[in-house]
Amino acid sequence: MILINCPYCGEREQSEFSNGGEAHVARPKNPEALSDKDWGQYVFYRSNPKGIFYERWVHTHGCRKWFNAVRDTSTDTFLKIYKLDDNRPDISEFKSTLKSPSGEPSVGSGNFAVKK
Amino acid sequence: MSAINNKNCKYISQVEIKITFDGKSYSAFDGDTVASALLRNNIRLIGRSFKYHRPRGIYTCGIEEPNALVQILNEHNEPNTRATIKRTYDGINISSQNRWPSLSFDIGSINNILSPIFSAGFYYKTFMGPKGFWKKIYEPLIRRTAGLGKPPKNFRSKSIHQNHNVDILIVGGGLSGLIAARKLIDTNNEVLIVEQDCFLGGILKNSNKVKSIDGKNVFEWVNETEKLILGSKNIKILKNTLVTTYNFTNHLIALEDKFVGKKIDTNKSELTLHKIRTTHTILANGHIERFISFRNNDLPGVMLASSFEKYIERYGVAPDENPVIFTNNSSTISLVKSLINLGCKPSAYIDSRNKNDIEDETKDYLSKNNIPFYPESEVEGCEGNKKVEKVYIRSSNKEISSIKASMLCPSGGFNPDIHLFTQSKGLVKWDDKIISFKPDTAFQNTITLGSVSGNYKFKDLCSEINKKLSFLKTNELNLEIETNIRDDFSIKELWETKTNKKSKWSKSFIDLHNDVTTKDLQQAINEGYDRIEHLKRYTTNSMGTDQGKISSINSLGIVSKILKKKISEVGTTTYRPPYAPLSFAAIAGRSTYEYYDPERKTPIHNWHIKNNAVFEDVGQWKRPWYFKKYKTETMHQAVQRESKQTRQSAGILDGSTLGKIEIKGKDALEFMNLMYTNAFTKMKPMTSRYALMLGEDGMIMDDGIICKINDKHFIATTTSGGAPKVFAHMEEFLQTEWPHLQVYLNSITEQFTTFNISGPKAREIVSKVFSDIDFSNEKFPFMTFKTFNYKNTQARIMRASFTGELGYEIYISPQHALELWELIFKHGKDFDLVPYGTETMHLLRAEKGYVVIGQETDGTVTPIDINFNWMIGKKKKDFIGKRSLTRSDTAREDRKQLVGIVPLDKSQFIEEGQHIVECENLPSKIKMPIEYLGHISSSYHSPNLNHCISMAMIKSGNKLMGKKLFVSTPKGTKNIPVEIVSPVFIDPENKRLTS
Amino acid sequence: MTTLISTDRVHITQRNFQQILIRGDGKDRFNQIITKETSLQPPSKNLEIKTSDQYIFAKNSFDQWTLVYLVERDYKEIIKTISNLNSNDEILASDYSYGQVYFEVSGENKDEFLNKLTQFDLRNKKFPDLSMAQTLIARIDCYIYKLNNKYIITCNKSYEDYFKERLTDLINL
C-alpha cells in the first residue's frame, strides 16, 4: 500500500485516493471545431508509458482535492507531487532508472530478484 | 532408539497435558508443539506425501516444515497445520492427513509404484483426453484425492485488524534484533519489535551455538534485555506474531495468533492482522538451514541438524539418542555438543569437507568423545521400512559402508532468509563464502542485520550493527560473544549425492512438499524447460505451502550444474507473499457478514421497520423495497396493492437517499449550463427542471431535478447511487478544467430528509399538514418550489413527481423528520394514504415511461436514444457531452432507442433482460446466432392496466411503432408475440400530473 | 450525551452539535465577512483548529471550513448567520446541524483502539494537537478533530448505527 503525500493533508494511505489518469490533457476550448477523429482522440485516448508518467490523483476520502504527480510506472515510485496551479516539472528533472531497450529498471520493478 | 527429555530446557514447563493423535491418547508438556509432543512419545510417522503417498516424518522444527502437516479436529477443524508450529493444549485432538485407511497402511502408496507417470510435467501432460473424460471422470477423481487435509464444513472465526504507525520496525526478536533494540532504548524513535515465537532470543534459545554474552549465559542476557526494553518508553514488543508480507512503501503485514497454547474461545478475536507502516525496516529475521538430496532423503527419521538441536534446546526433547550427523559446514558441531551434554552420542559424524578444511576443534572434540568420524565423506542414501534403519556412507576412498541408525541429521548449509527482503523489491547477490544468496541492493528503507544479511560471524555482529545503524545516531554497543562453534564459517558446496542403485522405490527428493525428485529436474531440462520460472511451474518445485524454504536454493544449485552455468546466472524465482500461509479470516478482519459494507439508514428507518418494510440495498443505503400489510402478503401482492392505491388515493415514499447538492457562486449559471444538457439561462427563479448529466462521450451519466433559487444559487438532486459520483464529477471539472469559475459546492444529502407524496389526494393531504401554504394549481404550479419555515427550520416543498400523479417533494430537517412523517399519516389516514417502497416506485414510473438511470441506461445510451432531445439546450455553445452527440456513431439512426412493449396475449408476462427477436420459434438446429434486436430493460405487471407493461431498448425503435415482434423467455423455445408501442402507458397527456 | 463505551482505557460518548460548513476563498474580504457574521476569526493555516469551550472552527482545506458549536445556541440565530453569509456570492454556507453524528473519544488507549478501525497516523508528531483531518474510519468518510487529549469524530448521520456497532464490537473482542 503506497503512501501518497497529498499537498493539503500530508502523507496518507493509497486507499484514500483515486487515480485520475493522464495529466495535462486540457479540454479543447472549441469542441465544435474538431473533427470526429480529433475529438475522439481527446475523449478516449490516453498515454500509458512504462516509466515516467505525468498523472492526476484526487484525495477522495480526505480533502477531495485534485493534484498532479510524476510517477515511475515501472517501480510505482512517486517522483514528484505538485498542485494543479504549479508549473509542470520538466522531464530532465528526473533521473530515469530505465536502462535497457526493453525498459526494465535496475531495481524496484519486482520482476527479478538477483542483482544483474 | 528413543527420545530423551532435556530437563534443563527453560522454555518448556513440566506441567503434563493430554493430547490425542489419530485416536490415541498421549502425554505432553505444556509448551510443546504438536511435533515436539509426538517426538517425545517416539512417534516418527506423521503423514503421507502429496503425490506418492510415501511415509513422512517431522523434518524440521519451524515454519519451514514441508512434511508434518496435520489436521486439528477441535473448534474449526483446521487442516494443513504445521505440527512444528502449532502449540498443544490439554485436550487437543490431532489427526494425520492424506492417508486412507490409516497412516501406517495407506492405499495411496500405490502411487509410488506408478511413479513414472507422476514425473515432471505430470499435470500438464495427462488428463488431456479422451473428450468428455475431464468432466465426468478426471475432475471428480482429482477433487476427491487432491489436497492434503479436509476442508472444514462450517467455518466462522473472528479476527481483527490492528494498524501501527512507527518509526522503526524490527523484524525478529533474536540476537541481532535485540542488539538493535538495546541501542534504541529511550531514543526519539518509536520502535516495534515483532517476534514469531513466544520467547525472545532467536538463535540464543533455539540452539547451542552461543555460549555466553558478556560473561552471562544466554538465558540471563535475553531476560535482562527484555526487561530493559519493557521498561523503555519507546519500544513495544509483539510476540507470537509472524511478519508475512513486506509491501511498498514500508508497509508490512504480520499475523498474531492470540490463542497460542490455549483452546480457542470463539467469542473472542482469534487472529490479529497487524498492518504496520514504518519509516525504517530492520530485517533481523535470521537464516534457514537447507537439506541435502540423497537416496530416500525423505524417510521418517531424517531431520535437519539445526532442527534436531532446536528440539533439544528449545523444546527440551532429543528425538533420538544416537543420530547420524551428515554435514558440509562448520556449525553442526554444536549439535554434537548438545547431545554429549545430555549423555547421548551420535552414531557417526560425516563431514563432506576436505580433511584440511575441517577445524581442529571439531576433530579434537569428536575424538575426545569417541564419535566415529568420516571426513571427506558423504551419505549415499538410507533405507528402512517406513523409517530410517540403515544409513549408507560413501567414504573418502569411494567405498560404501552401512551402519544401523534410526535418525539421520543432514545439514547442507544455511540460507539467509531473504523472502521479506525480495518481497520489498530488493535485489540479492550470490555470496561464494556462505554459498547462498544474500541481500544486496535495498529498494526501500530496509536494513538487514545479522545472519539474514549474510553475516555468519558472531564476533562481527556488533560492529556490523553499529555501522548500519550509525545514521540513527545512537550509542555504540559492544558485546563479548563467546560461541560453541568456529566463528569463521566454513562450508563446501554440496547439493546432492549420487547413487548407482536402481530401484522404483528409491528416490532423491528436491522438494518434499510437492514430491519433486532430482530426476524430475533433469527430465524437465531435457524437455527444454531450462529457465528457472518455467522449471518451477513445470515441476511444481518450491510451489508448496512451504515455498521450498529448505530446498529451493538446492534446486538452483543442481540446475546450475546441469546447465553448466553460475547460480547467479540461473537466478531465483520471485518470492511471493505471504511468507507463510495466511488465514483468509485474518485478511477479512471484521469486514465480513453484517459489517461487510457500511450501512446507511434514513432518519425514519425505525418507522419502516415497525411497519413491516422489507429492505433492499441501494448502494450502501437500506431502502424499503415494499411494505407487508399482513404477514403472509407476498412481494407481488404488496407491490400491486401499493401501486393501485397510490393512483387511486395517495402514496408516500421516503426519498431521503437521493443526493442533494447545493451550488452557489457568481458563475453558478454558467457552470450548470456546462454540466447538464438543459438550458438554464431563461429558467425562472423558484422553478424546477428535470435535467440530464452526460459524460464527455455523450452517454447519460445521471439525472436529477434542478431547483433554481436564482442565477447564482441552485440545488441539484441526483440518483441515490450516483450522489458521490456526481459530486466528485462536478468538483473535478471545477478544480481541473474551470478554476476560473467562481462556484462552490456542498453536499447536503444528509442535511434534508425527503418525502415524496403523490396521488389524486396528495394536494388535500399536504394542505391539511401545511395549512399556511396555498397548494392550488394557480398558486403552486407544476415544477415550482417554495421555501418555508417549519418549526424554525428551513424547509422546502417542490411540486414534482416520479409517479406521474399529482405529487410533492417535501424537504425537511432531519430533527423533525419522524414527527412530520407521522403527522402526514395522521392526516393521510382519512385519504387512504399508503406507504410504498422502491419496487412500487419503479412500477409507477414505468407506467409513465420514465427512465431509471442504470436500468434503461447503461453508459451507452444518449438522450436522443430515449427521446429526450427536448432536454438538450440547442442554443448552448458547449456542455459536457455535446460534441460527442454529433459523432458519427452517436448520431446513427439505427441506434437502440426506447420503446414500450405489450404482449399480444394480455395474460402473458415478459421478463426483464430478455431479447427481442423476429422469429417466433427457435429453429431446431441453430446454425447461425439469432439476430438480437434489443432487450427488455424494465417489465412489470401493471395493476392499473391489468397486464404486463415493458420498456425496451431496440434498434431503430422510433421507426417501429406498431410493429409486431417477439420476446424470448427464460425457459421455453416459443417466443412471446408482442407489439411495439409508446412507453407512456398511462395518462400520456399528463393530465393527472398537472392538475 | 450518551456513553457508548467506558473502560479504564477507552471512553467514547456520543453527542449532538450544531454545525455550519463554509466554502470560500480565505482571502481578506472572506475573513472580514466571516468575522462580522460569526464574531469569530477563521483559521488561516490548513488543518488548523481554533477552539474554545463554545466552538471548534477548523480549516479543512484551502477553501473549506467547519464551524461546530459545542454549546447549543438558538437555532434561529444559526439560520440567520447562514442566510447572511449566503447573501455574499463568493461564500457558500450550508447548515450541517442535524445531519451528522459526533463521537468523543478519550482515554489512555484511544489511539490503539481507533487504529483498529483506521490506518490514519494519530501520533502527535504526525497529527498535532489542535489540528484536524478528513480520513476513513471504519470505511466511512469522517472528520476527526484533535483537542487536548481527546478526539471528536464526526460523519454523516446515516452511518450512525453501523459506526456504533463497529465500535462496540471491537471492545468486546
* Amino acid B974: pLDDT: 84
Q: Min CA distance, C140 vs chain A (Å)?
A: 8
Angle between helices B552-563 and B532-539 (to 10 degrees): 120
Superfamily of domain B157-288+414-491: FAD/NAD(P)-binding domain (3.50.50.60)
Fill in the amino acid letter for A80: K
Fill in the amino acid letter for B105: F
Full strand arrangement of the beta sheet holding B400-404 = B378-383, B390-394, B400-404
Q: Where in chain B is the domain with CATH 2.40.30.110?
A: 893-995
Q: Is the pTM of this model over 0.90?
A: yes
How much is the average pLDDT of C123-139? 96
Chain A: partners with 3+ C-beta pairs within 8 Å: B, C
CATH class of B893-995: mainly beta
Residue ranges per domain, chain C? 2-14+100-158, 17-95
Alpha-carbon distance values, B562 to B524, B692, B844 (Å): 11, 69, 76
* Amino acid B156: pLDDT: 75
* Amino acid B195: pLDDT: 98
Q: Min CA distance, A96 vs chain B (Å)?
A: 15
C2-14+100-158 and C17-95 in the same fold: no
Tens of pLDDT along B525-544?
A: 999 998 999 999 999 999 99
Rounded distance between C-alpha atoms, residue B961 and residue B983, angstroms: 10
- Given a contact cutoff of 8 angstroms between Cβ atoms, the answer to whether B680 and B777 are in contact is no
- Average pLDDT of chain A to the nearest whole number: 90
* Amino acid B117: pLDDT: 66
How much is the average pLDDT of A62-87? 94
- Given a contact cutoff of 8 angstroms between Cβ atoms, the answer to whether B613 and C172 are in contact is no
Q: Where in chain B is the domain with CATH 3.50.50.60?
A: 157-288+414-491, 289-413+492-517
Q: What's domain B289-413+492-517's architecture?
A: 3-Layer(bba) Sandwich (3.50)
Nearest CA in chain C to A14: C119
* Amino acid B115: pLDDT: 67
**Cell representation of residue B19:** 493430547
Nearest CA in chain B to A111: B574
Percent of chain B with pLDDT over 70: 97
User: Is it the case that residue A101 has pLDDT exceeding 60?
Assistant: no
- Locate all alpha helices (DSSP H) within B583-711, ordered by sequence: 584-588, 605-610, 635-648, 668-675
Rounded distance between C-alpha atoms, residue B550 and residue B570, angstroms: 18
CATH class of B660-750: alpha beta
Environment class of B557 (CB within 10 Å of its CB; exposed 0-12, middle 13-18, buried 19+): buried
Q: How far apart are the first and last CA of chain B?
A: 101
* Cβ density class B80-110: b for 16+ within 10 Å, e for less: bbbbbbbbbbeebbbbbbbbeeebeebebbe
Residue with cell 504527480: A69
Rounded distance between C-alpha atoms, residue B770 and residue B791, angstroms: 11
- Locate all alpha helices (DSSP H) within C3-159, ordered by sequence: 28-38, 75-86, 110-114
User: Is it the case that residue A97 has pLDDT exceeding 80?
Assistant: no
- Given a contact cutoff of 8 angstroms between Cβ atoms, the answer to whether B695 and A42 are in contact is no
Strand partners, B544: none
- Which positions 10-39 of A are in contact with B (Cβ < 8 Å)? 13, 20, 26-27, 31-32, 34, 36, 39
Rg of the Cα atoms in chain B: 38
Q: Where in chain B is the domain with CATH 3.30.1360.120?
A: 605-656+754-846
**Cell representation of residue B701:** 451519466
Contact C120 A62 (CB under 8 A): no
Answer yes or no: is the ipTM higher than 0.90.
Answer: yes
Does C2-14+100-158 carry CATH code 3.30.1360.120?
yes
Q: Tell me, yes or no, if B728 comes closer than 8 A to chain A by beta carbon.
A: yes
Contact A63 C134 (CB under 8 A): yes
Cis status of the peptide bond prior to B130, with omega within 30 of 0: yes
User: Is it the case that residue C146 has pLDDT exceeding 80?
Assistant: yes
Chain B residues touching A85 at Cβ < 8 A: 739
Chain C residues touching B792 at Cβ < 8 A: 75-76, 79
User: Is it the case that residue A99 has pLDDT exceeding 60?
Assistant: no
User: Is it the case that residue A104 has pLDDT exceeding 80?
Assistant: no
Chain C: partners with 3+ C-beta pairs within 8 Å: A, B
Q: Is B747 left (phi over 0), alpha (psi -120 to 50) or beta?
A: beta
Q: Min CA distance, B272 vs chain C (Å)?
A: 10
Can you list the residues of chain B whose pLDDT is less than 50? none
Q: Tell me, yes or no, if A90 comes closer than 8 A to chain B by beta carbon.
A: no
Q: What's domain B605-656+754-846's architecture?
A: 2-Layer Sandwich (3.30)
User: Is it the case that residue A100 has pLDDT exceeding 80?
Assistant: no
Q: Which domains does chain A have, with CATH numbers?
A: 3-93 (3.30.2270.10)
3 state SS for B127-189: CCCCCCHHHHHHHHHHHHHCCCCCCCCCCCCCEEEEEEEEEEEEECCEHHHHHHHHHHCCCCC
Q: Which of A8, A9, A61 sits opposite C136 (nearest CB)?
A: A61
Q: Which CATH number, 3.30.70.1520, 1.20.1440.230, 3.40.50.300, 3.20.20.140, labels domain C17-95?
A: 3.30.70.1520
* Amino acid C94: pLDDT: 96
Nearest CA in chain C to A12: C120
